[in-house]
Amino acid sequence: MSAKQAEAEAPISGVPALRSQPLSQFAADHACRVRQPPAAAAGPRRTTSVAPQAAVGDDGLTIKGHAVALFAAAVGIIILNVFAPQILVGLIAPELGLGAAATALVAMMPVPGYAAGLVFLVPPADRVENRTLILYSLLIAVVAVATVPLIPNAVDFLADLFVLGAASSAAQVLVALAAAMAPPAIRGRITGDVMSGLIVGILLSRPLARGIADRFGWRAFFGVTGLTIAGLAMVLAWRLPRHQPDPRPYGYLLASLWHLLRKEPVLRQRALTAGLSMAAFSAFWSTIALRLVEGPFHMGQRRIAIFALVGAGATAPLAGRAGDCGWTRATTLSAHFLILAALSLAAWAGSWPSISPAVPLAVLGASAVLLDVGATADQTLGRRAVNLLRPEVRNRLNGLFVGRFFIGGAIGSAATGLAWSIGGWFAVCGLGASFAVLALLVDWSSWTTST
Give the integer Cα–Cα distance in Å for 116 and 109. Answer: 11
Contact 347, 426 (CB under 8 A): yes
Q: Measured between alpha carbons, how far apart are the two ends of the chain, in Å?
A: 6
pLDDT of residue 44: 42
Residue 95 has pLDDT above 70, yes or no: yes
Going by pLDDT thresholds of 50, 70 and 90, the confidence category of residue 412 is confident
Give the integer Cα–Cα distance in Å for 280 and 57. Answer: 35
Question: Where is pLDDT greater, at 290 or 237?
Answer: 237
- 123 preceded by a cis bond (ω within 30 of 0): no
What average pLDDT does this structure show over 343-355?
Answer: 81
73-105 as b/e: b if 16+ CB within 10 A: bbbbbbbbbbbbbbbbbebbbeebebeeeebbb
Contact 386, 266 (CB under 8 A): yes
3-state secondary structure of 298: coil
Contact 320, 384 (CB under 8 A): yes
Residue 331 has pLDDT above 80, yes or no: yes
Q: Is the dihedral of CA 339, 285, 230, 404 positive or negative?
A: positive
Q: Which residues pair with 55 in a beta bridge?
A: 63
Going by pLDDT thresholds of 50, 70 and 90, the confidence category of residue 247 is low
What average pLDDT does this structure show over 228-243?
Answer: 92
pLDDT of residue 123: 80
Give the integer Cα–Cα distance in Å for 319 and 305. Answer: 27
Question: Where is pLDDT greater, at 160 or 192?
Answer: 160
Give the integer Cα–Cα distance in Å for 229 and 234. Answer: 9
User: Which of 80-94, 271-285, 371-385 is predicted least confidently?
Assistant: 80-94
User: Which of 5-14, 131-140, 294-303, 321-330 is predicted least confidently?
Assistant: 5-14
Share of the chain above pLDDT 70, in %: 81
Highest mean pLDDT among 92-96, 241-245, 255-259, 426-430: 426-430
Report how far Cα 329 is from the mean position of its chain's Cα atoms. 20
55 membership: H or E segment, kind and range: strand 55-56
pLDDT of residue 61: 57
pLDDT of residue 270: 93
- Identify the CA nearest to 193 among candidates 324, 82, 299: 324
Going by pLDDT thresholds of 50, 70 and 90, the confidence category of residue 220 is very high
Give the integer Cα–Cα distance in Å for 242 and 130. Answer: 7
pLDDT of residue 313: 52
Question: Where is pLDDT greater, at 132 or 322?
Answer: 132
What average pLDDT does this structure show over 114-118?
Answer: 87
pLDDT of residue 35: 42
Secondary structure letter of residue 153 according to DSSP: S
What average pLDDT does this structure show over 128-151?
Answer: 93
Taking the domains of the chain in order of start, what are their residue ranges? 55-449
What average pLDDT does this structure show over 175-204?
Answer: 83
3-state secondary structure of 223: helix
φ and ψ at residue 62, rounded to 5 degrees: -130, 155
What fold does the segment set 55-449 form as a domain?
Growth Hormone; Chain: A; (1.20.1250)
Question: Where is pLDDT greater, at 74 or 325?
Answer: 74
Averaged pLDDT of the chain:
79
Residue 260 has pLDDT above 60, yes or no: yes
- 296 preceded by a cis bond (ω within 30 of 0): yes
pLDDT of residue 41: 39
Question: Where is pLDDT greater, at 416 or 21?
Answer: 416
User: Which of 33-42, 54-63, 153-162, 309-318 is predicted least confidently?
Assistant: 33-42
